[in-house]
Amino acid sequence: MKGNVIVGQSGGPTAAINSSLAGVYRTAKDRGAKKVYGMLHGIQGLMEEKYIDLSEHITNDLDAELLKRTPAAYLGSCRYKLPEIHENREVYEKIFEILDKLDIEAFIYIGGNDSMDTIKKLSDYAIVMGYPTRFIGCPKTIDNDLALTDHTPGYGSAAKYIGTSVKEIIRDSFCLEYSKGLVTIVEIMGRNAGWLTGAAALAKGEDCAGPDLIYLPELTFDLDNFMERIRELLAKKPSVVVAVSEGIHLEDGRYVCELGANVDFVDAFGHKQLTGTAAYLAHYVANEIGCKTRAIELSTLQRSASHCASRVDILEASQVGGAAVKAADEGDNGKMVVLKRISDDPYQCSTEVKDVHKIANDEKLVPREWVNAEGTYVTDEFIAYIKPLIQGDVSPVMVDGIPRHLYKPSH
């Protein structure tokens, strides 16, 4: 590389996003980039000229290893959607003025759907205006809902945490017996896509029956049918554990969490902020049956639990970061790196690049045939797809009993 590289992180943080950052940094340095800049809080920070020189932060190999083990976005993230080019050219002029000043050859953006929209618009603008900077997207989202890629870095670690935690919750739920039984509802992230919720099935194995029911947001949720199944299960066993997506909704489109008294918030992308699905269902079951119920939200923990990361995921995240730099260096523009599964047994996965126009703003959902006919559990195909992604561990660097992260002074 002849110029410099700038990298940003965008959207919801994950346990693997910093491993992609480490991969970008390492490959950029290996390929001769003079400087590797990091945007602080993504494109939003960049527009305010907030960025750092990463080599001042990653000073040796141990720092790079710590970075891979540090959850959340080291550089800070943002949820900022660029205006359409014809609506506000000034924003683009400003961004390219900064990129020009920093002599940026490659602009790498690590993020999900909304972030790929940023890559699309910036690369379109660069091509139209004749700017030389190349824009490459690096997939990241625990939601695993990006099109064209077999899966997204960040998903495997979240899935491993969900499987592990749901198994521990199931173990716990059988300890105390209640006269009318115990129903535990575990609420898992994923507004429209059930990839994370389906990962609850990973709890199932020789030593654990797994959750009893799994409800994905792709299918309509029927409260009466749900109650019928709960009653049937309670007739057979003292403890019932149900995994539900935060985004499950009724046939009329209302989210289950809206049925309670929760306030609705809408974020910058117009997405409804969901909360309280498990709490609502737990109260509902308790009222209807009179049994003991428990609502557990895996919350932020499922996306930030680096201490329980998947080795496959952390390695792939780093590889994808490196592949993004390589693609830019080799002349690609307006592309996103994707993971392509070559083989399931043994699991093998390589990287490719795909046109970001085919990815941005598109959402990959769990296929209907990967959910059973009743809509109450994922199939063996789903589990076979996900199993390779949670393999192996990344031992945290423990200092005084607690995992060490790479420190950034402002945090």
d(CA 269, CA 271): 5
Q: Which is nearer to a second copy, 35 or 191 (CB)?
A: 191
Q: Is 401 exposed, middle or buried (0-12, 13-18, 19+ CB in 10 A)?
A: exposed
| CA–CA distance, 70 with 65 (Å, rounded to integer) | 9
Shortest distance, CB of residue 260 to a second copy, whole angstroms?
A: 10
Least separation in angstroms between residue 71's CB and a second copy is 5
Q: What tokens were used for 160? A: 């491993």
Shortest distance, CB of residue 338 to a second copy, whole angstroms?
23
Decide whether 66 or 99 has the Cβ nearer to a second copy: 66
Q: Please check if 264 is assigned to a binding site.
A: no
- Kindly give the pairing relationship between strand 104-111 and strand 51-53: unpaired
Report whether 189 belongs to an annotated binding site.
yes
- Which of 93, 105, 143, 82 is closest to 2 using CA atoms? 105
Give the nearer residue to a second copy in terms of CB position, either 371 or 386. 386
Decide if 39 contacts 46 (C-beta within 8 A). yes
204's tokens: 């199932």
362 in a labelled binding site: no
Encoded tokens for 51: 């960025």
Question: Radius of gyration (Cα) for the chain, nearest Å?
Answer: 22
Instruction: List the catalytic residue out of 114, 117, 143, 332.
Output: 143
Q: Judge residue 191's burial from the number of C-beta atoms within 10 Å of its C-beta, 0-12 exposed, 13-18 middle, 19 or more buried.
A: middle
330 in a known ligand binding site: no
143 as an active site residue: the answer is yes
* Per-residue tokens: 253: 């489109």
Q: Is 141 annotated as a binding-site member? A: yes
Quote the least distance from Cβ 44 to a second copy, whole Å. Answer: 8
Q: Is 191 annotated as a binding residue?
A: yes
Q: Which is nearer to a second copy, 175 or 373 (CB)?
A: 175
Identify the CA nearest to 184 among candidates 70, 294, 279, 32: 294
Alpha carbons 241 and 174: distance in angstroms, whole number? 10
- Interface positions with a second copy (CB under 8 A): 9, 12-13, 41, 70-73, 76-79, 160, 163-165, 167-177, 184, 202-203, 205-209, 261, 263, 283, 294, 296-297, 299-301, 303-308, 310, 387, 390-393, 398-407, 410-411
Provide the minimum distance between the beta carbon of 251 and a second copy in the complex, in angstroms, as a whole number: 28
Both structure tokens of 331: 């002349």
Please identify, using beta-carbon distances, which residue of 106 and 183 lies nearer to a second copy: 183
323 or 394, CB closer to a second copy?
394
**Cβ-contact 359, 116 below 8 angstroms:** yes
* Residue 210 C-beta: closest distance to a second copy, Å: 10
Annotated binding site for substrate: 141-143, 189-191, 246
Annotated binding site: 12, 113, 141-143, 189-191, 246
Annotated binding site for Mg(2+): 113
Give the residue numbers annotated as catalytic, written as ranges.
143
